[in-house]
Structure 1
Amino acid sequence: MITITYRKDNETLSHPWQITDPLPEGLFWMDMIAPTLEEHLAVEKRLTIEIPSKTEVWKNNVLNRLYVEEDIAYMTASLISKADSPYPKTSAVTFILGKQFMLTVHDITPTSFKNFSARLLRPHEKFHTSAHLLTGLFEEIVNRVAFNSELVVSSLDEVSHDVFGVNVLDKRVKKSSQFLKSAIKKLGAAADLNSQISDSLHSINRLLVFLKQVASTEATTAAAIELAISDTQALKAQCAFLSDKITFLLDATLGLINVEQNVIIKIFSVVAVFFLPPTMVSSIYGMNFQHMPELSWVGGYPMALGIMALCAIIPYIYFRKKGWL
């Protein structure tokens, strides 16, 4: 699918474009979403430029994301999609910047692109150059990354309340361990999203620094790029902080699980201590020796029961005074 955005009679228009249609005058942005080979070749011919294929985009994403060829800047960044789903992912998005137009190629549909398209249709929203246009798009991209980072913050706040809440390890709550199991799952999801945000910010920051070098001839554009770079650096610092917080909460959660397991083991240990002395007494009187005077004594049975009770009560009193129970 290809969407074009252009100016006509002081009005910004945007609509899908077919390869058989002519290109309108005033075209300044062409957005290619999962283009077919036929669309790929047609756009190359119409704009007289080379568009990297998926294989080349992947190779450039690994080796060289940013380069200039015949006065055309080719840039690739990793953007996040489905951030609010259980399985967010990053995908390479290519930005091709000419003197009069901007071309974007991607397989995902980032929310920031939708927001920027709607922003362009506003009456007073104007971008004087293609570089200024790309800077405006990255303003939306960075804003969306900040929104995704807030999702991580909200998730960690929720986990923090679960881990350090009043119900955790409360004897009156039978299912307190469920809070901790749920917390580990949430921490795993938050760590995954935060890691992808960090990778995306790294690629965006590199792209903006490159864009500043090749396209910031206008003061307004240069200032906007500088502001976007500052925002990405601030978000990278926040990602580092959130990563530390995830580690802290994970350690705390595992520690509480260990405490809960120790409480269970302690219960079995206490029960064993209470019943071990009486068991020893009962074992003594269960021996089948011929000469055991207590066996023929009328008060032998009550005496044995009394000794067994004392053997359980005395350790209990002793442990209570020591504070071990």
Structure 2
Amino acid sequence: MIRSILRNHASLSIVQGLPQAEHDSEVVWLEVNAPTTEESTSLQRRFGIETAPKSSSVVEDGNFLYMRSKLLALGGNGTPSFGDVTFALGEQVVAILSDDADFRPFEVALQRLHRKPASTHSPKGVLRVLLQMANDGADAVIDRIADELEKSTEEIDEISDGYDSSGKELGVPDLIETMRSLNEKEELISLCIEALLSLARAVRYLSGEVDNVSEAELQAVVNELAADVAGVKEHAYFEHEKVRYLQNGVTNILNVKQNQIVKIFTIITAVFLPPTLVGTFYGMNFAVMPELSWEYGFIYSMGLTLTAAILPLVYIKRKGWLR
């Protein structure tokens, strides 16, 4: 599937598929998703673009500079999506190659190019806009993760207190669910960092293609883009560290709660062990048991059992083990 963006004077237009051959000089951007054999042949014959997978992340064949990158985008339903794309930068056209027919991170790129028509004067300018949009998409995903981490922090605080806002008691199952959510966020942020690293590499190679003298204005905005990518990357690292901190916090709370559960069962065992021992004595089949003939033998045995239960409880409380 191919989508062509053509420049005709100051306006841009979209053509599904390749345009007529006489309009090839007007093409500034080609978006290629899972091309067919026929489409790949046409791209090679008319533009010199190779759609076959490249052996390394950066390849130059004399006509095009191919840069493979991982990109992420925030879908309309708020779900982040990741995909591999290859930027092909040539003298007359820039192309985006992807093997995924459904991964389209630049659906709204045409709107930005319409607002900034000067960016379409060269393939390098178009690529700079596309890389800027990719960086903005990564920033949006990280901002969403940051908002979710704030909610996770509140949940962890409630679980550490033992009760939520409605008074429901929270325990180990709630912590396990929170830990699972944090693990998913850590994986997501790791993918974001990987995407930003590949994006920074593409920006660096684009900067190397720009002429500092004849394209001084473009060089300035590319340098700004490099700084923006570095800033988003730092934000991603910060959120990753925050996730790791929250994971450690949840693990510590989980250990404390599990230790409390073990302590409770240990105290219960310590309290009921002496009464069990008393009951065991009276369960023996001795021939002579004087208490059976006493008038208050039953009350005596109950008092003995109760005392055997209270004494360990008093000892444990004085030691502070109930706190």
| Cα distance in 2 for residues equivalent to 1:162 and 1:84 | 27
- Which residue in the other structure is 1:39 paired with? 39
1:60-79 maps to which residues of 2 (within 5 A)? 60=56, 65-79=57-71
Asked if 2 retains the 8 angstrom alpha-carbon contact of 1:80 and 1:110, the reply is no
| Pairing partner for 2:84 from 64, 78, 92 | 92
Asked if 1 retains the 8 angstrom alpha-carbon contact of 2:33 and 2:97, the reply is yes
| Cα distance in 2 for residues equivalent to 1:85 and 1:307 | 68
| Cα distance in 2 for residues equivalent to 1:265 and 1:298 | 42
Asked if 2 retains the 8 angstrom alpha-carbon contact of 1:67 and 1:75, the reply is yes
1:107 matched to 2:137: no
1:203 matched to 2:198: yes
Normalising by structure 1, report the TM-score: 0.87
- Which residue in the other structure is 1:267 paired with? 264
| Cα distance in 1 for residues equivalent to 2:39 and 2:192 | 31
| Pairing partner for 1:192 from 187, 192, 199 | 187
- Which residue in the other structure is 1:239 paired with? 236
| Cα distance in 1 for residues equivalent to 2:122 and 2:283 | 99
Amino acid at match of 1:187: L
- Which residue in the other structure is 1:153 paired with? 146
Amino acid at match of 1:193: L
Q: Deviations over 1:246-301 (max 9, x none)?
A: 22211222222222222222222222222111122222233333343323222222
C-alpha RMSD of the superposition: 2.7
Q: How many residue pairs were aligned?
A: 317
| Cα distance in 1 for residues equivalent to 2:130 and 2:20 | 28
1:150-229 maps to which residues of 2 (within 5 A)? 150-165=143-158, 168-170=161-163, 173-217=168-212, 218-229=215-226
TM superposition outliers: structure 1 runs of 4+ over 6 Å: 82-87
Q: Which ranges in structure 2 are unaligned for 5 or more consecutive residues?
A: none
TM-aligned CA distance change 1:82 to 1:122, over 3 Å: closer
Amino acid at match of 2:50: I
After TM superposition, give the deviation of residue 76 of structure 1 in Å.
1.6
After TM superposition, give the deviation of residue 200 of structure 1 in Å.
0.8
| Cα distance in 1 for residues equivalent to 2:162 and 2:89 | 58
| Cα distance in 2 for residues equivalent to 1:162 and 1:187 | 11
Q: Deviations over 1:16-72 (max 9, x none)?
A: 13476653542211211221110010121112x14131xx23x32xxxx22332243
* SS of structure 1 residue aligned to 2:35: coil
Deviates more, 1:272-281 or 1:256-265: 256-265
| Cα distance in 1 for residues equivalent to 2:269 and 2:293 | 31
After TM superposition, give the deviation of residue 145 of structure 1 in Å.
0.7
After TM superposition, give the deviation of residue 126 of structure 1 in Å.
4.2
Asked if 1 retains the 8 angstrom alpha-carbon contact of 2:73 and 2:105, the reply is no
| Cα distance in 2 for residues equivalent to 1:107 and 1:211 | 23
- Which residue in the other structure is 2:137 paired with? 144
Q: Which ranges in structure 1 are unaligned for 5 or more consecutive residues?
A: none
Asked if 2 retains the 8 angstrom alpha-carbon contact of 1:201 and 1:232, the reply is yes
TM-aligned CA distance change 1:123 to 1:175, over 3 Å: closer
TM-aligned CA distance change 1:204 to 1:123, over 3 Å: closer
| Cα distance in 1 for residues equivalent to 2:117 and 2:233 | 32
Asked if 2 retains the 8 angstrom alpha-carbon contact of 1:119 and 1:125, the reply is no
| Cα distance in 1 for residues equivalent to 2:231 and 2:249 | 27
Deviates more, 1:147-156 or 1:165-174: 165-174
* SS of structure 1 residue aligned to 2:51: coil
Deviates more, 1:176-185 or 1:304-313: 176-185
| Cα distance in 2 for residues equivalent to 1:111 and 1:288 | 84
Amino acid at match of 1:106: S
1:51 matched to 2:44: no
Normalising by structure 2, report the TM-score: 0.87
1:22-33 maps to which residues of 2 (within 5 A)? 22-33=22-33
Percent identity for Structure 1 against Structure 2: 25
